Amino acid sequence: MSESVSSVAINESWKNVLNDEFQKPYFPLIKQFIIGQKAKGKKVYPPGPLIFNAFNLTSFENLKVVIIGQDPYHGEGQAHGLCFSVPVGIKPPPSLVNIFKEIKTDLGIDPPNYGNLEKWAKQGVLLLNASLTVNEGEPNSHAQCGWHIFTDAVIKKISDEKEGVVFLLWGKFAQNKEALIDTSKHFVLKTAHPSPFSVDRFFGCKHFSKTNELLKQQGKQTIDWNLNS
């Protein structure tokens, strides 16, 4: 990450859309904050090259669905720049296990034995955390450094410049982002967060089949949610 727009390690399609944000005074302060945390001996996740992973796997042109998370996982090896996702070889966390259970109920797809959601991202599902970095063992530790300004701007840009995007807002934090979305030209599906604390209200939401139905109605390619294939 850098103050220089040309060197921000982000997909070219996003670089064009977000050019104004990269020029704003707050953006270089995010980098300074992260450098400062590391100088204090903090481990910051995900690794630098994966901070914009969600954008690099889902181009602006290809984007059809947005899932909003709050914060990267803060355990070693878990975060790789996609909300709810973990790299192959890392045990799927409880919220992700619950997502897979709902997909099983909704679509009859058996849960995979890994938690890497890159296949979804490459089909046009933007897996966006509101904060793109976090300190090890410290949830929400980067929530005030400027990331929320940036990701709110991302959501607003998607709303302004695209049509018919399906936004999946799970839990109160994500649902607060609805204010940034023009619901007259996009679709918003809301339910409880899949964490163990609220999963009873998440189960039965059928957001995966509903998303595909909304995409189908628009003549768009549906999402293959099956990570086993």
Task: Tell me which residues are annotated as active site.
Answer: 71
Burial track 90-117 (b if 16+ CB lie within 10 A, e otherwise): bebbebbebbbebbeebeebebbebbbb
Backbone angles phi, psi at 102, to 5 degrees: -65, -40
Q: What are 44's strand-pairing partners? A: 135
Contact in structure between 181 and 159 (CB atoms under 8 Å): yes
Contact in structure between 190 and 171 (CB atoms under 8 Å): no
Size of the chain in residues: 229
Across the chain, the runs of DSSP E, i.e. the strands, are 44-45, 65-69, 125-129, 134-135, 166-170, 187-191
Residue 86 Cα distances to 44, 74, 193, angstroms = 16, 11, 18
Angle in degrees, CA 111, 155, 80, rounded to 5:
45
